[in-house]
């Protein structure tokens, strides 16, 4: 992935490096691997505000990720690299043979 290096117009951007998102896929994510994500907005199970200043933001869908992969020794190919709104890393869709 390509990196974008920023010019130091402030102290924070002096060391800032971002990924160029043009190389990510423009296709929609696999429908079976996407589910709805409810926004709690600082409310508990009774509906009362328990954390102040929470809420708003952009609506997001949850990407299902297999954290317990057990495909050791099986070759796989990366089909797509996608943006994930719920974490700071991009995610990859891997197809196993």
pLDDT of residue 7: 93
pLDDT of residue 72: 85
Domain boundaries, the chain: 24-97
- Tell me yes or no: is domain 24-97 CATH 2.40.50.140: yes
pTM, to two decimals: 0.69
pLDDT of residue 2: 84
- Candidates 30, 28, 1, 31; CA nearest to 17 is 1
CB contact burial 15-49 (16+ within 10 A = b; e otherwise): eeeeeeeeeeeeeebeeeeeeeeeeeeeeeeeeee
Contacts of 5 (CB under 8 A, 6+ apart): 16, 17
pLDDT in tens, 31-80: 889 988 888 888 899 989 999 998 888 888 999 998 888 888 889 898 88
């Amino acid at each position: 992935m390509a990196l974008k290096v920023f010019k130091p117009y402030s102290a924070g951007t002096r060391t800032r490096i971002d990924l160029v998102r043009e190389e990510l896929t423009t296709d929609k994510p696999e429908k079976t691997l996407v589910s709805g994500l409810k926004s709690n907005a600082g409310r508990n199970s009774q509906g009362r505000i328990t954390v102040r200043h929470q809420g708003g933001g952009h609506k997001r869908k949850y990407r299902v990720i297999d954290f317990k992969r057990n495909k050791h020794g099986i070759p796989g190919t990366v089909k797509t690299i996608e943006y994930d709104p719920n974490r700071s890393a991009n995610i990859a869709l891997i197809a196993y043979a």
